[in-house]
Amino acid sequence: MEVDSMAVVNLLRESSASDHPLGDIIRECQELMAEVNVVQIRYIYREGSKCADHLAVLGHDCISGPLEFSSPLPTLLRLMQDDMRGVKSLRSEFSTPANAPTEFGLSL
């Protein structure tokens, strides 16, 4: 699994995150990783994952707290397809400008 935040890598590698404000979410991630036999967590630069960068941009100013989606966001589908095909692109091509409306009516 590739993650673009060293802090997240460290939290997921820790055996217990019970004192962390996001401890429940961290535990859920650790349980899911165990279920799907994820054996390696690796840090990558944000530019190395267009999908992770896009989600980080969308979530940066989200004041409503963590969001959970049952399927990929429409804006994320193209990036996922490009990522699977190994398509290279510039960071500005997939970053969302501040205060741009999203397809869900949220202003970021």
Higher pLDDT, 89 or 81: 81
Residue whose structure tokens are 């969001």: 67
Decide: 8 and 52 in contact? Cβ < 8 Å: no
DSSP string, 37-88: T----EE--GGG-HHHHHHHHHHHT--S-----SS--HHHHHHHHHHHHT--
Decide: 106 and 73 in contact? Cβ < 8 Å: no
Residue 85: pLDDT band with limits 50, 70, 90: confident
pLDDT digits (tens, 9 = 90+) for 36-72: 886 788 887 766 677 877 887 877 777 777 777 788 8
